[in-house]
Amino acid sequence: ANAPYPPEGVANYAIMLMLMAQRKVKLLARHSAAQDFGLRGKLGKDISTSTVGVIGTGRIGSTVVRHLSGFGCKILAYDPYPNKEVEKYATYVDLDTLLAQADAITLHAPGLAENYHMLDSAAFAKMKDGVVLVNAARGMLVDTEALVAAVESGKVGAAALDTIENEADLYYRDLSREVLPNRDRSVLMAFPNVIVSPHMAFYTAEDVRAMIFNSASALLAFSRGVDTPFEVRA
């Protein structure tokens, strides 16, 4: 069985990351801690004047679109299977158009083989200079080497990542006294304009309760020989 949870937790976390990236919160926090309260280099961009591209409009992506609509920004969406509800708030376009026009891009596509490195060097080349990238979906969607190069060149003005490639066996443990065996994370964390959080967009009281409840519900259904909507079927 699977253990579905409400989409709002991840959706709102992705929006939070986007706001943090656009308003340079990581840089602000670092400088504030050092008592540097100057304004130089800290000018942000308002999401309300942005064009936001949402890649993937399933349960989470469609929730992102609906919640983003309250900010007044222009929303572009890409998905092989358009959602009529999403069309109330966003305009579906092809992927190349989204990449070329979006000021900020948030990923909500599934981790399927055909989506591996959906954002590679060729995709970054199609984006606006200074684009903001958010990934609260799957690390494999982004070619990390290409992302690092895009940050270094200024093509990507900021990135906020809740998931990265090769993060298996890394998160949900206290590794504060160890040298992390993940150079990609170390490089990304070193950038003042890149936020990396430890794959915890799902971690709300509401989502965890739903995962536990739905898992237990499925186990009870299996033990009783009755159907459950959470069963994984071929």
Q: Is residue 224 part of a domain?
A: no
At residue 65, the pLDDT reads 98
Q: Is residue 81 part of a domain?
A: yes
Q: Is residue 18 part of a domain?
A: yes
Alpha-carbon distance of 80 to 100, in angstroms, equals 18
Give me the amino acid identity at 214. Answer: N
Looking at the structure of the chain, the number of domains it has is: 1
pLDDT-above-90 percentage for the chain: 97
**Which residues does the chain have with pLDDT short of 50?**
none
At residue 206, the pLDDT reads 97
At residue 167, the pLDDT reads 92
Output the pTM of the full model: 0.95
**pLDDT digit string, tens, across residues 191-216:** 999 999 999 999 999 999 999 999 99
Alpha-carbon distance of 57 to 143, in angstroms, equals 21
Catalytic residue positions? Answer: 138, 167, 199
Q: Is residue 171 part of a domain?
A: yes
Q: Is residue 106 part of a domain?
A: yes
Q: Is residue 26 part of a domain?
A: yes
Under DSSP, the state recorded for 158 is E
Q: Is residue 218 part of a domain?
A: no
Q: Is residue 72 part of a domain?
A: yes
At residue 109, the pLDDT reads 97
Q: In 3D, which of 12, 37, 13, 42 has the Cα closest to residue 26?
A: 42
Tokens representing 231 are: 């069963």
**pLDDT digit string, tens, across residues 147-187:** 999 999 999 999 999 999 999 888 999 999 999 889 999 99
CATH number, residue 31: 3.40.50.720
At residue 234, the pLDDT reads 79
Under DSSP, the state recorded for 142 is B
DSSP state string for 74-134: EEEEE-SS--TTGGGT-EE--HHHHHHH-SEEEE-----GGGTTSB-HHHHHTSPTTEEEE
Q: What is the mean pLDDT of the chain?
A: 96
On whether the CB atoms of residues 103 and 87 are closer than 8 A, the answer is no
Gap between the terminal Cα atoms of the chain: 12
Q: Note down the domain range covering 68.
A: 8-203
At residue 213, the pLDDT reads 96
At residue 233, the pLDDT reads 87
